[in-house]
């Protein structure tokens, strides 16, 4: 079997880029010196077939007035295989000159690899790092589940506990926020532990029933009315600690993923996931809601919320998870570095990565994904360093229901306005609103 990483002429000068795609660039100013480093990849759409060569080219421009002696270190970040050794090349770049250098490689197995180009100078204060990620057959990525034996019982008991809490739905008209053809309400309800949570309900002025989109927030986000549709109900919901849901659970400090993490029963995301289920309870209580056309949509943490809600509540008919967080925790921490989590574990002797990952496993959408029965869209920024594609596809590939994915080759942790509009079009098509 061939090695999964095949270096090819790792240090080769290239005078000009031909048919190179997926551009990432940035520059750094040090005093009066200006040095820039830009990466390009030959991988069309950021994806390759097994063994297909990929050329990552770094173009270094010295816009300053003096000569630069530059060191270029090439390395690889991946969990698909053991990364190759660092490749180091030194070159000389005169004032006003640009030089290019390439690192060629190939993936032999499904997965993703990030090529890291670190540029330093011995005679200038230059320290620039650029990254480019490409992938191979991501739909074939297979990651073992990490759930404990009592995983299903835990969620069954948690859902039962939520049912015992009287939601006490309160709907307050907010005419000051009304828009033409759209009425706005602030909704308050009680969730697990009697915690009050809120959201913004927008209903068409025309009679229903109307399809519903439940919008859920990113980490520390604040969902607000969108004022967009006169033929759909939109419920922009804030779980505990977010937006207008901070009466009982504060939003500061923004440390949700370590709150109560010593015990699965007290962990923040147990309550937050169930808050989202409670939001579905509210939607299902509405006579103007089409209960067979309910979608949940979120990005980043909201993408994780969307996946968890669809997994825990079969009343969801459509799930949209953009650049989702809370996916495949084990590989997540192999691919990213978060001092906040490191410091939390180091703060007590009884905390270990093993015990922490065991608790996180109850909330990992990797372990919940097989419960999803509705149509699902997952959208991914190939260059995302916050929620790496490897972890997202680990979850996506565990979903047995109808599903599709969309990859943005040059996007990171943000997919842009065009994507936002595209999702609305997908939802309207699914709800048969544009016929």
Name the CATH code of domain 151-430 (choices 3.40.50.150, 1.10.3720.10, 3.40.50.1220, 3.40.50.1820): 3.40.50.1820
Distances, alpha carbon 13 to alpha carbons 8, 10, 104, 161, 269, in Å: 13, 10, 12, 64, 50
User: Are residues 139 and 46 in contact, defined by beta-carbon separation less than 8 angstroms?
Assistant: no
Helix (H/G/I), strand (E/B), else coil: 160: helix
What is the structure's pLDDT at 85? 95
What is the structure's pLDDT at 55? 95
Backbone angles phi, psi at 289, to 5 degrees: -95, 135
d(Cα 419, Cα 422) in Å, to the nearest integer?
5
* pLDDT confidence tier of residue 126, bands split at 50, 70 and 90: confident
User: Could you tell me which residues are beta bridge partners of residue 35?
Assistant: 28, 62
d(Cα 309, Cα 319) in Å, to the nearest integer?
9
Task: For residue 396, give the nearest of 137, 134, 161 by alpha carbon.
Answer: 137
What is the structure's pLDDT at 435? 57
What is the structure's pLDDT at 345? 97
Neighbours of 15 (CB within 10 A): 7
Average pLDDT in the chain: 91
Burial of residue 246, with CB atoms counted within 10 A of its CB: 0-12 exposed, 13-18 middle, 19 or more buried: middle
Active site residues: 300, 384, 413
Q: What stretch of H or E contains 103?
A: strand 98-105
CATH 2.60.40.10 at 8-140, yes or no: yes
Domains of the chain by residue range: 8-140, 151-430
Helix (H/G/I), strand (E/B), else coil: 306: helix
Residue 304 CB contacts under 8 Å (≥ 6 apart), including other chains: 298, 321, 324, 325, 326, 327, 365
d(Cα 312, Cα 314) in Å, to the nearest integer?
7
User: Are residues 121 and 22 in contact, defined by beta-carbon separation less than 8 angstroms?
Assistant: no
Helix (H/G/I), strand (E/B), else coil: 30: strand
What is the structure's pLDDT at 121? 87
Q: pLDDT at residue 13 above 80?
A: no
d(Cα 362, Cα 276) in Å, to the nearest integer?
16
Task: For residue 388, give the nearest of 145, 140, 134 by alpha carbon.
Answer: 134
Backbone angles phi, psi at 23, to 5 degrees: -85, 130
User: Are residues 383 and 133 in contact, defined by beta-carbon separation less than 8 angstroms?
Assistant: yes
Task: For residue 188, give the nearest of 245, 243, 234 by alpha carbon.
Answer: 245
Peptide bond before residue 204 is cis, with ω within 30 degrees of 0: no
* pLDDT confidence tier of residue 271, bands split at 50, 70 and 90: very high
d(Cα 326, Cα 58) in Å, to the nearest integer?
33
| Minimum mean pLDDT range among 43-47, 192-196, 243-247, 339-343 | 43-47
User: Are residues 30 and 126 in contact, defined by beta-carbon separation less than 8 angstroms?
Assistant: yes
- HSE-CB for 401 with a 13 A CA cutoff: 20
Radius of gyration of the chain (CA): 24
Distances, alpha carbon 299 to alpha carbons 178, 281, 306, 347, in Å: 26, 22, 8, 31
What is the structure's pLDDT at 243? 98
Neighbours of 256 (CB within 10 A): 21
What is the structure's pLDDT at 151? 98
pTM of this prediction? 0.90
Q: pLDDT at residue 20 above 80?
A: no
Neighbours of 373 (CB within 10 A): 16
């Amino acid at each position: 079997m061939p090695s999964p990483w095949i270096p090819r002429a790792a240090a080769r000068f290239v005078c000009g880029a031909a048919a190179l795609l997926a551009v990432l660039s940035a520059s750094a100013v040090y005093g009066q010196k200006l040095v820039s480093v830009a990466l390009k990849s030959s991988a069309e759409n950021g994806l390759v077939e097994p063994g297909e060569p990929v050329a990552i080219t770094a173009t270094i421009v010295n816009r300053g007035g003096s000569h630069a002696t530059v060191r270029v270190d090439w390395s690889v970040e991946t969990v698909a295989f053991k990364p190759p050794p660092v490749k180091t090349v030194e070159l000389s770049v005169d004032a006003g000159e640009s030089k290019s250098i390439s690192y060629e490689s190939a993936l032999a197995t499904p997965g993703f690899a990030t090529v890291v180009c670190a540029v330093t100078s011995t005679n200038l204060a230059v320290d620039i790092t650029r990254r480019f990620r490409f992938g191979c057959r991501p739909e074939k990525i297979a990651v073992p589940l990490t759930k404990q034996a009592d995983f299903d019982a835990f969620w069954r008991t948690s859902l039962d506990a939520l049912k015992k809490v009287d939601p006490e739905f309160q709907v307050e008209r907010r005419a000051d926020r009304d828009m033409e053809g759209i009425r706005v309400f602030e909704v308050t309800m009680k969730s697990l532990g009697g915690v009050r949570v809120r959201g913004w309900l927008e209903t068409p002025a025309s009679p229903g029933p109307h399809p519903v989109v439940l919008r859920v927030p990113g980490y520390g986000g604040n969902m607000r009315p969108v004022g967009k549709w006169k033929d759909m109900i939109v419920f922009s919901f804030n779980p505990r600690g977010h937006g207008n849901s901070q009466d009982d659970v504060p939003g500061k400090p923004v440390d949700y993923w370590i709150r109560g993490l010593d015990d699965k029963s007290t962990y923040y995301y147990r309550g937050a996931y169930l808050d989202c289920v409670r939001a579905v309870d509210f939607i299902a209580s509405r006579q103007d809601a089409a209960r067979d056309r309910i979608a949940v949509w979120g990005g980043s943490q909201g993408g994780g919320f969307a996946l968890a809600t669809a997994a825990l509540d079969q009343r969801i008919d459509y799930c949209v998870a953009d650049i989702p967080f809370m996916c495949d925790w084990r590989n997540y921490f192999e691919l990213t570095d978060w001092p906040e989590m490191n410091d939390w574990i180091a703060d007590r002797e009884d905390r270990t990565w093993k015990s922490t990952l065991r608790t996180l496993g109850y909330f990992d959408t990797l372990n919940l994904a097989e419960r999803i029965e509705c149509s699902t869209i997952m959208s991914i920024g190939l260059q995302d360093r916050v929620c790496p594609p490897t972890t997202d596809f680990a979850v996506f590939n565990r979903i047995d229901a109808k599903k599709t994915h969309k990859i943005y080759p040059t996007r990171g942790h943000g997919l842009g306005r065009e994507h936002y509009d595209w999702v609305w079009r997908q939802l309207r098509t699914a709800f048969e609103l544009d016929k």
